[in-house]
């Protein structure tokens, strides 16, 4: 089961290296919240995470774990860069490198969301079909 504490702990350990971020718990929780909102919008669901906003039993599937983590990490790095929280973190001197890392994580999040949407389409009970009337121009002949 995916819980808020496990996600924020994982985000915390990810950014504890000497060149990483030491983001506070509240910032990590907000990053998880925003990533979950993106997932819910993208997949047209109302998933929840245990411990987030008082939810006792979350229902976010394990297949969403890579997406929620990369999305939250991208949001976390972008937040630190945007609000210039360098005085509150172990922000490395090379902000450009962190910006590149955040952009990479955003692209990775987008690709993971595409994969989740494709899996949902493939697992759908009924096949998706669209009908249209073919209208051929006389000049095409």
Q: Tokens 């991208």 correspond to what residue? A: 74
| pLDDT at residue 20, rounded to an integer | 47
Q: Where are the alpha helices (DSSP H) in the chain?
A: 4-14, 25-43, 65-82, 95-123
**Predicted structure pTM score:** 0.75
| pLDDT at residue 133, rounded to an integer | 79
The pLDDT mean for the chain works out to 82
Give me the DSSP letters along 81-94. Answer: HHTTGGGGS---S-
Angle at 68 (CA atoms; ends 96, 42), nearest 5 degrees: 100
pLDDT, one tens digit per residue, over 50-73 is: 988 888 888 899 999 999 999 999
pLDDT, one tens digit per residue, over 96-136 is: 788 888 899 999 999 999 999 988 888 876 666 677 777 77
């Amino acid at each position: 089961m995916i819980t808020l504490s496990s996600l924020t702990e994982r985000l915390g350990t990810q950014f504890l290296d000497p060149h990483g971020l030491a983001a506070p718990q509240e910032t990590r929780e907000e990053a998880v919240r925003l990533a979950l909102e993106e997932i819910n919008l993208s997949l047209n669901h109302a998933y929840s995470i245990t411990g987030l906003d008082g939810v006792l039993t979350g229902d976010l599937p394990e297949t969403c774990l890579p997406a929620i983590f990369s999305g939250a990490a991208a949001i976390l790095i972008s937040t630190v860069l945007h609000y210039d929280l360098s005085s509150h973190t172990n922000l490395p001197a090379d902000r450009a490198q962190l910006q590149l890392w955040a952009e990479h994580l955003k692209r990775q999040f987008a690709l993971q969301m595409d994969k989740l949407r494709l899996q949902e389409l493939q697992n759908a009970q009924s096949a998706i079909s669209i009908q249209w009337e073919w209208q051929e121009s006389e000049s095409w002949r």
